[in-house]
Amino acid sequence: MDTVVSRLRSFWKKFGIFFTDGYFWHVQRRFTLRYMRDSGFGRRDNVLEDVIAHNTKEVMNIVINGPQTIEEKVIVRGDLIYLPHFFAVPFINGLLHIITGSTFPRNMYPDLWYLAKQTLLFQRSTNDLGGALIITPWLKSMLPEFSGFKGLSNGNQALLDFFEVIIKDAIETYDEKYDRSFLDIYIRAMKEDMKQNKRSTYSVQQLQLICTDYMFPTATAVEMVLTMLVEQMLMHPEVQEKIHEEIDRVVGRDRAPTLDDRNKMPYTEACIREMMRTETPVTLGVAHRAMVDTKLGGYDIPKNTSVSVNYVSLHMSKDIWGDPESFRPERFIVNGKLQVSSDKSLPFGAGRRLCAGETFARQGMFLVLAMFMQQFKLSTADGKPLKQASKRIQGIITTIPEFWARVTPRY
């Protein structure tokens, strides 16, 4: 879709993966998926798993051994953790490993928390359809705060700045003799394609937008799903007890959970699935434009019409789920095993525009949650039972306000 929101992200041009289409989108999406795969994206990869596990341990160590800096105290205070940002680092460093071949060490985690904060600001400053700015773009100058323009610009600028520095360094130190990371592979392809093609789809700005597009959900959506699951556990202690029971039975206490345990831990996996069903993260998906005149469900859709999918109606259908309002992970478990075929939810969309990060997100969420729950018991900051879910903030993704939760080491 070509809107003021998509344009303000990308130098008022059409770059990236989310909001491009046609030949440009096809070439650029295929290239990123093909070459990021070499670093473990979209598949099972031991090195990527180690990166996510190592960073999860580092973040948990801030609680176990106490914060060492003022910045760490913004995320951890005694036995209180600040959500969702507490969960951000393993995902962000996982993606940085894929894109840049390196990660930020603990003394630079504050930069990643800042990135997560600004990205969340962007997510909350509009909605799936672009909010008021889409219909009345002039609001951006007259009411920059009210229209969300300021939050969108500031949040987006943080992402652009973050990757501008990284990409500049990669270009300056580029050596065509060997590829250090996905960035080098892209730079080489860009140089070659630009020589051959006057209208190349590759460019430095496009690379910057690829990085921001992949980082955007990595720094917000995955940690928000886990955060909402924490809220569920605070409201329904039996969910937490069942996850603990499963971890103790399958993994024990002498080693950390790994992705090998995912098949053997159907309840934990089902909780993540049920969380994304009951609280659809991207309620109306990403709007796309019809490329040609077409028909959909008996309706004529003229070329250039904006089309959105209402995933909430699917996830809340009484016909499909029977009791859609209940948080009931057991619905996905048959004879003690996760039955993926019984999961008719589509939190990551479907078809050609299927979320490019589904595998990365699902694997990462399982690993971070399992490691976290093995170590800690959760309770509310004030020690009182949580009776009511907090208000939902409908932005591009569904979020809840940041909050502190109490964690007690289990052993």
Provide the minimum distance between the beta carbon of 280 and ligand HEM in the complex, in angstroms, as a whole number.
Answer: 8
Provide the minimum distance between the beta carbon of 24 and ligand HEM in the complex, in angstroms, as a whole number.
Answer: 11
- CB count, 10 Å around CB of 115? 24
- Residue 109, CA distances (Å) to 95, 100, 186, 272, 351 in order: 14, 16, 27, 26, 36
Contact of 309 with 406, CB cutoff 8 Å: no
Binder among 347, 368, 376, 396 for ligand HEM (CB under 6 A): 347
303 exposure class (CB count in 10 Å sphere: 0-12, 13-18, 19+): exposed
Provide the minimum distance between the beta carbon of 102 and ligand HEM in the complex, in angstroms, as a whole number.
Answer: 17
Q: Is 95 in the site for ligand HEM (CB under 6 A)?
A: yes
211 annotated as a binding-site residue:
no
Task: Give me the helices (H) in 310-407, please.
Answer: 311-315, 318-321, 358-375
Q: Is 40 in the site for ligand HEM (CB under 6 A)?
A: no
Provide the minimum distance between the beta carbon of 249 and ligand HEM in the complex, in angstroms, as a whole number.
Answer: 27
Interface with ligand HEM in residues 214-243 (CB under 6 A):
214, 217-218, 221-222, 225
Looking at beta carbons only, is 250 or 270 nearer to ligand HEM?
270
Interface with ligand HEM in residues 199-218 (CB under 6 A):
213-214, 217-218
Interface with ligand HEM in residues 129-168 (CB under 6 A):
none
Q: Is 361 in the site for ligand HEM (CB under 6 A)?
A: yes
CA–CA distance, 134 with 1 (Å, rounded to integer): 11
Task: Give me the helices (H) in 13-148, please.
Answer: 22-36, 46-65, 70-73, 88-100, 109-124, 131-135, 139-142
Contact of 371 with 57, CB cutoff 8 Å: yes
Binder among 40, 90, 281, 395 for ligand HEM (CB under 6 A): 281
Q: Segment contacting ligand HEM (CB under 6 A): 141-149, 320-328, 333-341, 351-359?
A: 351-359
CA–CA distance, 372 with 275 (Å, rounded to integer): 17
Binding site for ligand HEM (CB under 6 A): 17-18, 29, 95, 213-214, 217-218, 221-222, 225, 276, 281-282, 285-286, 347-349, 353, 355-357, 360-361
